[in-house]
Amino acid sequence: MPRCCRRLGEVRNRSEFKEPTWTARLTQFVVKTSWSQVHTSGILGRCSNFFLLRMHKQYSVGEMNIWGHHPTGAYITRTGYNWLLYNEDIHQLETLLWKVMAKLPVQPKIRIFGWRLGHNALPVGQLISAAQVGSGSCRMCDKETETMLHAMRECLQVQSVFHISGMDLLLPQGPFISCLEWLMECWSLLERAQFTFLILLLWNIWNRRNRWVHNNQLIPTRLVSEYAQVVAVDAQGANEDIVHRVPCDRSKRWKKPEAGQVKINVDGAWLAASRQASIGVIARDHHGLMLEGFARKLDGAHSAETAEACAFEAGFLMAVSKGWERVIIEGDALAMVNRLCTERPDYSVTGSFLTETKVRLKGHPDFAVQHVAREANTVAHVLAHHSLDSSTDYYFDDVLPDFISNHVINDAIYG
């Protein structure tokens, strides 16, 4: 025989619930299959008791109390606390949400995206049509008006992304008035890592929508989820303590290596408009004299991170091909230096460019990877950007190109 289960917390108008002590005594609300009016009156008072008795009743097998603000039905202190805040003052919960958003382990632009998402400040179809531009319909499904909530949650294209990523089983299913209300409910239900992944997923969903609207390019649903997972792994790794983290060198001048050492400076350049990239590499001895160098454009589409990764790889391959035994590979990309120096597995896209180099570095114990400030990496920086701007490759081992000769001479004199 199915017994009555009481689903607590289903009434939207709950301003009467002011006493926080009731969250610790939920089991006192129900005695077998009926409400205990004595206990509810003692905990909440007569007014709150009246509203509690009017709550929605749900029937299921077994005898239990179901907390309506968690997917499992189990009561969690955080959801109860957020529920009380929501009823007492909606702005208190909003303030907490923005504090959480500001501390998410993601890029600042994604935090700003989360803020704009909650403040209804993204250019969706409904807002654009209010300015007499366009029809306001969703460009992804062409079925409904594109509100903020529709673009981030209700669109069929978005639902398919949630399904592939597995988030559809974790997100709240009830109707919501605004995107802010939905975000607050998600934050109340999800763990911190899950909420971070949700924001990353929404960021990629929004980018996918913009790519389709402005460039008529539709990113496959599977890739949207995979991109979010890659960024989540990067975010997690960036906020973990790295045992072999390289100190950041703030020196403004290039320094000569020790006698018998070779220092190779590397840098990458990237043009966002065309996604073209180039690298600059130069090797010098302990006198500051040039041994060899080159600058060349990279094939295919790249990002700023992959350009830097390719520059470090090229510097390593130069040292190996020349048979140099004591080598310092130096660049101004601190993230790349940390990736090369840590033993922690790197599953990101950028990390895949450095996998082979990391493995081969272990076979050269006298090779070191160092970070240097941009001002102390001027020669490699100028090489990379000059090759990118002129679409020309340079290879030299005896005569310096004119556009870097003064920089090399200054480094040799003052380094």
Same-domain pairing of 227 and 289: no
For residue 270, what are the β-bridge partners? Answer: 277
Q: 172 and 165 in contact (C-beta within 8 Å)?
A: no
d(CA 314, CA 279): 8
| pLDDT mean over 50-58 | 41
- Is there a single domain that holds both residue 66 and residue 94? no
Asked if residue 101 and residue 72 are part of one domain, the reply reads no
**DSSP type of residue 287:** T
Global pTM reads 0.48
Residue 370's H or E segment, with its range, is strand 367-371
Question: Which residue's structure tokens are 């990496």?
Answer: 377
Confirm if 405 and 317 have CB atoms less than 8 A apart: no
How high does pLDDT run on average in the chain? 76
Weakest mean pLDDT among 7-21, 156-170, 299-313: 7-21
Q: Are residues 234 and 100 in the same domain?
A: yes
Q: Which of 43, 67, 50, 57 is nearest to 14 (CA)?
A: 50
- Cβ contacts of 407 within 8 Å, gap of 6 or more: 378, 379, 382
What percent of the chain lies above the pLDDT cut of 90? 18
What pLDDT is stored for residue 367 in this prediction? 93
- How many CB atoms lie under 10 A from the CB of residue 158? 24
| Structure-block tokens of residue 256 | 């000569």
What Rg value do the Cα atoms of the chain yield, rounded? 29
Same domain, yes or no, for 163 and 193? yes
Q: How close are the terminal C-alpha atoms of the chain, in Å?
A: 86
Could you give the C-alpha distances from 374 to 86, 196, 268, 276, 344, in angstroms and in order? 49, 32, 12, 21, 26
Question: pLDDT tens digits for 199-241?
Answer: 999 999 999 999 898 888 888 888 888 878 777 766 555 454 4
Residues 158, 105 share a domain: yes
**Band (250; pLDDT cuts 50, 70, 90):** low
Q: Do 94 and 36 have their domain in common?
A: no
pLDDT value of residue 262: 94
What residues make up the domain containing 146?
Answer: 90-239
Number of domains comprising the chain? 3
pLDDT at position 314 over 90: yes
